[in-house]
Amino acid sequence: MKTAFSKTLTALALGLVFVPVITSAQSSISSDKSVPIVAGFQGVAPEALVTRLDEAVALTADQKIRITEIFRQQADALALLSLGDHSEIAKEWEYLKKVMEIRMAARAQVRALLTAEQQRKYDRTPQNRGGGLTLNPANRVARLNAEVGLTPEQKNLATEVYVEEAEELLVFVPEERLAKGREVRQATKELIRALLTPEQREKEDAIQRAVAAQNAEEKAFVEQFLRTSNIITTRVGAVTALSSQSSAVEEVNGQFRRGKYSFNVTGSNRAEVLSVYWERILPAAQLKVTKVEDSAGQTIQL
């Protein structure tokens, strides 16, 4: 990581950043378990969305017409989807997943109509201001503050770190961000930890233990899929061994978690490296496999 990251790290190393002790009264871990993923742009007129986007990236007249139609199609799709019965957990999962898919598809269509300079602005503008930013530094700082209780100075420094992380990750196109951004995300974790007091680190450690348990659950889910899926056993035979090759996990705005696990899968017929992509709606919805790729990056039909 560069610029702000290197400056922050240098300041920490030289002892130039004063981080006071935080009392337990200043820390408040959020207990809100709601998933406001279906809130947001539903009910907002397509024209209003275009106005927000125009303010962010300066659209041409032709772009306004075409993007208005994209937002109208998104609104129609969301309205049609909301008419169904979502009372059961399985149905609720499918509903939330489809909402995400509709919104992600609309963002991809909008982004494809923008120039390179407009895309740069779009990728860095929060969604509530008409942009496509999912790596929102303000949300990251708010979440960290809820977990450990930050001082104003720590909030400023954490914001600087998260802004730099977002800039580094935005170098990659959205489709490559999960796999290629692992080193960037690890550097962020190390810098954020350096900002915390011992008491805050204890709180963060407790949270990380919970995250580790979540990671173990997700990895076990993928392993079970590889061992029991007819699609996999048809390719390699009965699975006899799994060797983990790599993994990447990304959480979007505390609402949506997705990842990729790559395994060397040894079967009774042959061995093959396979990558399994998965996703889940937070806080604890059922995991779903979304895609499987072979070592050449070719998608295997599920």
pLDDT tens-place string over residues 266-296: 999 999 999 999 988 776 668 889 999 999 8
Is 210 part of a structural domain of the chain? no
Position 240 scores a pLDDT of 96
Number of domains within the chain: 2
Same domain, 104 and 195: yes
Cβ 59 vs Cβ 50: under 8 Å: yes
Among 178, 202, 226, residue at a domain's last position: 202
What is the domain range of residue 132? 4-202
Among 173, 202, 231, residue at a domain's last position: 202
Greatest Cα pair distance, the chain, in angstroms, is: 60
Same domain, 234 and 121: no
Position 26 scores a pLDDT of 33
Same domain, 162 and 247: no
Same domain, 191 and 222: no
**How many C-alpha atoms does 272 have within 13 Å on its Cβ side?**
24
- The 3-state DSSP class for residue 90 equals helix
Query: Of all helices (H) and strands (E), which one includes residue 252?
Result: strand 239-252
Over residues 25-55, the pLDDT tens digits come to 333 323 333 333 333 344 578 888 899 899 9
Over residues 214-249, the pLDDT tens digits come to 889 999 999 999 999 999 999 999 999 999 988 888
Same domain, 173 and 265: no
Position 284 scores a pLDDT of 64
Same domain, 239 and 124: no
Is 208 part of a structural domain of the chain? no
Q: Letter for the amino acid at 167?
A: E
- Catalogue the long-range contacts made by 104-110 (C-beta closer than 8 Å, 24 or more residues apart): 105/74, 106/70, 106/71, 106/73, 106/74, 107/132, 108/174, 109/70, 110/53, 110/67, 110/70
Position 253 scores a pLDDT of 61
Same domain, 192 and 220: no
Is 207 part of a structural domain of the chain? no
- The 3-state DSSP class for residue 276 equals strand
Please say if the pLDDT value at position 19 is more than 70: no
Question: What pTM does this model have?
Answer: 0.49
Strands 239-252 and 256-267, by their bridges, are antiparallel
Is 209 part of a structural domain of the chain? no
CATH number of the domain bearing residue 290: 3.10.450
Is 20 part of a structural domain of the chain? yes
Same domain, 61 and 166: yes
Position 41 scores a pLDDT of 42
Please say if the pLDDT value at position 252 is more than 80: no
Same domain, 195 and 224: no
In 3D, which of 140, 101, 137, 128 has the Cα closest to residue 39?
128
Over residues 112-166, the pLDDT tens digits come to 999 999 998 888 887 767 778 777 788 889 989 999 999 999 999 998 888 888 8
Position 171 scores a pLDDT of 77
Same domain, 194 and 155: yes
Same domain, 221 and 156: no
Is 36 part of a structural domain of the chain? yes
- The 3-state DSSP class for residue 134 equals coil
Among 202, 227, 243, residue at a domain's last position: 202
Please say if the pLDDT value at position 176 is more than 80: no
Is 51 part of a structural domain of the chain? yes
Please provide the DSSP assignment of 216-231 as one string: HHHHHHHHHHHHH-HH
Instruction: List Cα–Cα distances, 256 to 21, 97, 135, in angstroms.
Output: 33, 9, 12
Is 262 part of a structural domain of the chain? yes
Position 15 scores a pLDDT of 40
- The 3-state DSSP class for residue 19 equals coil
Same domain, 135 and 273: no
